[in-house]
Chains A and B, each alone.
Chain A
Amino acid sequence: MQFPDDRRYTHTHEWARQDGALVRVGITSFAAEQLGDIIFLDLPDPGTRVDGGAAFGEIESVKAVSDLLAPVGGEVREVNEPLMDDLDLVADDPWEGAWMIAIAPDDPAQLDALLDAQAYAQHCAEEA
């Protein structure tokens, strides 16, 4: 398995990419495949505070409901509204079009503590 190396990853299959002063967040192609067809997505409003490692939203597939965990703590600045109307994007374009929120991080260094692409690939291989 290969994953983009322009971003970091969590053990719970979120990705986080530095984007100017913000950290953009989505879920990985591995997570999307495990979940199957997505039927519901619940994201926070801009301005919401999130803690690193805590739930910022929920994603529901035909199989299960899962929490979405924030890779870094901070304030939600942007939410991908178009994604709510086109949930197929989570499977079709997980790395770009299906970003979910952008966080203004409390501590930008938090990102460095996450998995890099190689470590995340190994984590997925162990789970599969």
Chain B
Amino acid sequence: MTEPTLFDISQPGKRCTRMPAADVPAPALVDVVPAEHLRAEPPALPEVTEPEIARHYARLAAQNFDVDRHFYPLGSCTMKYNPKVHEAIAAAAGWARLHPATPAEHVRGALRLIRDVEGWLAEILGMAAVSLQPPAGAAGEFTCLRIFRAWHDARGDTGRTRVIVPDTAHGTNPASVARCGWTVTVLESGPDGRVSTGTLAEALGDDVAAMMLTNPNTLGLFETNVLEIAAMVHDAGALMYCDGANLNALLGRARPGDMGFDAVQVNLHKTFATPHGGGGPGAGPVGVTAALEPFLPIPRVVERDGALAWDHDRPASIGKVQAWFGNFLVAVRAWAYIRANGADGLRRVTEDAVLAANYVRAALEGAFDLPYDGACMHECVLSAKTPTQETGVRAAEIAKALLDHDIHPPTMYFPLIVDEALMIEPTETESKRVLDRFIAVMLEIARAAREQPEALHDAPTRTPVRRVDEVTAARQPFLRWRPE
């Protein structure tokens, strides 16, 4: 089913509203707008009625595949269900209509909220200080690396150009390194899917600026050698960055600061109640040790003469990484979520997320390949290698088949070191009933892959748009509508 664009259904003269005729003389346009700013031709905007617009967007919304209607075990993305009350809180006019240029003495409640969230995140992360400014996870990564660079520079240690990144890392890690003007040394994972201290020792040197480590890593495995890894990196004069994308596995149970990390980013839109998947806005606050605090982005919220105020005067700061103070309404949702859960509730979030992932792993590891044995954290990575080799049913086919069962596919083909990877993150918000249904569907698909593989090659058959031609779409992208 293809939804026509509004341009396709446009007809000259159609309007949503008609304004009454002006009862005062209207000036000619040329008299009020300088001639050089006037168009020669009117813009080619679609002309449609209000019901046509309303139905157009309602139909598009109905074709969406979203977490409000479907189980969404998209590994690495933490697509948990976010309680609607947090939307209502963030939409309250007192927050939503604040102008960022309002003087601090008029908006001390907002400053207090920022300071609260910074303080609570610092406690959750085991870090000395937090900045809410970075607008997304990758922006938080980049901010941490910029802070590392400023720290090395401040010590006159300018010969460090390499950053060590394991081969399981999110693709944003090497991208952030490149943006920072450094080069990446890729570290091959050990046979257990974790960083091998032997391999790390070979990669370290006095030209290494930092190591980026995701913990738990993207295989859903806790880096059990993290203390030794951090000691080795620090002995080499480099700093430890924690990719905090998998914080849903740590709340109240383990803290990056206690593991020897010097900086970490948090994806508020994953763990702390901001819906995501539509491109934002999110937030990627960063936490750092006391030694790195002077380099955090400005401005900072400080207490001055018993009241909260903005502090822009921080000479060592790396400057700004986002307009104003970051995506403030995401911090409002995080404030509400942390308060609603409390310390015990946040710990249970993690415990239930880890339990759900292991429940799914234990039920499916007989039907699919499990490339790395043992208990996982908040997500598990399976492989469709056996069906791919035996009947040609690949991870992508299994993912498409799930759509026919109203389940969003897991992440596919990531991490890169697992063939035909299926990365499943159920999250803590799903009931046992939902998990059991997912398991039953996955077992049914595994059986179909063995017994009637041709049936899966046509999936999905029940979605508004069926199998799309990804290859042609990527080779010859058709990105802009033009009139016939």
Contact = CB atoms under 8 A, between A and B. Distances in A.
Interface string A60-103: 10111000000000000000000000010000000000000000
Contacts of B396: 62
A64 B413 contact: yes
Given A63-B413, A64-B416, A87 B470 contact: no
Interface in B413-450: 413-414, 416, 419
A39 interface: yes
A63 B417 CA distance: 12
Contacts of B416: 64
Interface in B457-484: 470-471, 474-475
B interface, size bucket: 10 to 19
Interface string A40-74: 10000000000000000000101110000000000
A37 interface: yes
B475 A62 contact: no
Given A37-B470, A62-B470, A87 B413 contact: no
A60 B416 CA distance: 13
B413 A39 contact: no
A49 B382 CA distance: 41
Interface residues of A, number: 9
A59 B276 CA distance: 30
A121 B474 CA distance: 32
A37 B413 contact: no
Interface in A18-44: 34, 37, 39-40
Contacts of A62: 396, 470-471, 474
A60 to B, nearest CB: 8
Nearest to B412: A63
Contacts of A39: 470-471, 474-475
Nearest to B477: A39
Contact of A87 (B412, B414, B419, B475): B475
Contacts of B412: 63
**Which of B412, B414, B470 has the most A CB atoms < 10 Å from its CB?**
B470
Contact of B471 (A34, A37, A64): A37
Nearest to B421: A63
Contacts of A34: 419
B387 to A, nearest CB: 15
A90 to B, nearest CB: 12
Contacts of A40: 474-475
A120 B44 CA distance: 59
B192 to A, nearest CB: 18
Nearest to B414: A64
B36 to A, nearest CB: 41
A39 B412 CA distance: 17
A87 B471 CA distance: 10
Contacts of B419: 34
**Which of A39, A40, A87 has the most B CB atoms < 10 Å from its CB?**
A39
**Which of A34, A60, A63 has the most B CB atoms < 10 Å from its CB?**
A63
Nearest to A39: B474
7 contacts: A34-B419, A39-B471, A62-B474, A63-B412, A63-B413, A64-B414, A64-B416
List of 3 A-B pairs having minimum Cβ-Cβ separation, nearest first: A39-B474, A63-B413, A37-B471
Interface of A: 34, 37, 39-40, 60, 62-64, 87
